[in-house]
Amino acid sequence: MRHPVTPDGRYFVVRGRLWRMADPSLPEERRALLTRELMAARRAVGTALRSGDEAALQAARAGVDEAKRALGERGPPWWEDGAPDLNRHLAKNTPYAEWFAGMEGA
């Protein structure tokens, strides 16, 4: 992966922001199917934006959300240890700050 992943495997970091990883307990076939569905929904968002079709845009964005929830990237966290979901937080403002600072210096 080209983006750093937190030591616990819960997030990857893009431009200093944490983004939740897919649930690692998903079977590989299921993850691959959901990823294909996500990519198709993202393409549909682009098509709808270019065409100015608001109804198609809403449907495509709903498809993106549905796939991301099924992958575990949105919705309730897939981990069960009670740790908070820090999705979209700046890494420097989270318990990952020290780890991230070390990544920036690497």
Beta strand spans in the chain (E): 11-14, 17-20
- Residue 30's nearest CA partner among 72, 62, 59, 82 is 72
Helix (H, G, I), strand (E, B) or coil at 10: coil
In whole angstroms, what separates CA 71 from the centre of its chain?
Answer: 9
Predicted pLDDT of residue 106 = 54
Stated as kind and residue range, the H or E segment containing 97 is: helix 97-105
Residue boundaries of the structural domains of the chain: 1-21+85-106, 25-72
Predicted pLDDT of residue 104 = 66
Task: Kindly report the pTM of this predicted structure.
Answer: 0.88
Predicted pLDDT of residue 105 = 59
Residue owning tokens 């700046």: 90
Q: Which residues of the chain have pLDDT under 50?
A: none
